[in-house]
Amino acid sequence: MSTVPPSPPAIPARLRHRRSADALTAGQLAEVRSAIVAAQAIDDDRGYQSWAGVHGLPLPVYCTHNSPLFLPWHRAYLYFFELALQDRVAGVTVPWWDWTAGGSEGLPAAYADEQDADGQPNPLLQSPIQPSGRPPGGPSETNRNPGQPGAPPLPTRAQVDAVLELTDFMDFQSQLEDLHNGVHVWVGGTMGGIASSAYDPIFWAHHVMVDRIWRLWQLRHPGSGPPAALLDRALAPFAMTVRDTLDVEALGYDYAVTTAAVRGTG
């Protein structure tokens, strides 16, 4: 008679916090970079290339833009991507890029530096693009052209505050998506089009910022959210509905500008 192996012991529920990319400790940044490097090394559906490809190319294009599912779909996307990174480096979270921080270069140093602290190429600066993830004739690596002439400026804190004041979810979502669009245009290069944008590592920090603003909006407007008709809509290809995305704590994460911890008595 076969026996069923015992279930692994349950892990005590402990929220993980996504932090500002500008406020990571050296150790936290090293963990993010290690997770990306490890995920890039996997050539199957657990790997970085596979997850980046869910958004645009290779077909089908799953991402939802100009859609009532914009925020829920991207929250689900980040959730599964972050879990894939946590399979590589336990507890790691994707940081957020505060576009309103007003740095002279715009991009966080963690994502713009050529090298990491050990003098190795910064895995958050650039990424390969798998052949099936490239538009015809497109480059094999991501590139950026931040703030090129004709690009809109990065959103300001006042613009984000104005969006947070909106009380109707659909109105809020529409205006936040427009700020999001402008950041894609500002970064330019690979980020400037739907097809390959998710291959650029800054994509994830950009969308964590969008997700964070939604979380802040939820805290300011308790009880408000997507209309009931949307709640049971599926978020393909993820096994999630809109309703499943509404509570970030149920998804195991929340946001903090910085975190620091020290071992206790145990």
| 75 versus 184: smaller Cβ distance to another protein | 184
What are the φ and ψ backbone dihedral angles of 239, each rounded to 5 degrees? -80, 65
Q: Give the x/- contact pattern for another protein in 32-61, rule: CB under 8 A.
A: -------------------------x-x-x
* Alpha carbon distance 208, 163 (integer Å): 17
DSSP letter assigned to residue 4 = P
Provide Rg for the chain, Cα atoms.
Answer: 19
- Rule CB under 8 A: choose which of 145, 218, 241, 259 binds another protein: 145
Output the DSSP codes for 102-166.
--SSSS-HHHH-SB-TTSSB-TTT--B--GGGSPTT--SB----TT-TTPPPPPPHHHHHHHHH-
131 binds another protein (CB under 8 A): no
| 139 versus 193: smaller Cβ distance to another protein | 193
Size of the residue set binding another protein (CB under 8 A): 31
| 34 versus 175: smaller Cβ distance to another protein | 175
- Rule CB under 8 A: choose which of 6, 12, 149, 266 binds another protein: 149
Residues 18/253, Cβ–Cβ less than 8 Å? yes
Least distance from another protein to the Cβ atom of residue 52, Å: 15
Q: Give the x/- contact pattern for another protein in 158-197, rule: CB under 8 A.
A: ----x--------x--xx--xxxxx-xx--x---xxxx--
CB within 8 Å of 21: residues ≥ 6 apart: 95, 96, 97, 98, 108, 110, 111, 205
Least distance from another protein to the Cβ atom of residue 69, Å: 8
Most distant CA atoms of the chain, gap in Å? 72
3-state secondary structure of 101: helix
Least distance from another protein to the Cβ atom of residue 148, Å: 5
List residues near another protein by CB under 8 A: 57, 59, 61, 65-67, 135-136, 145, 148-152, 162, 171, 174-175, 178-182, 184-185, 188, 192-195, 236
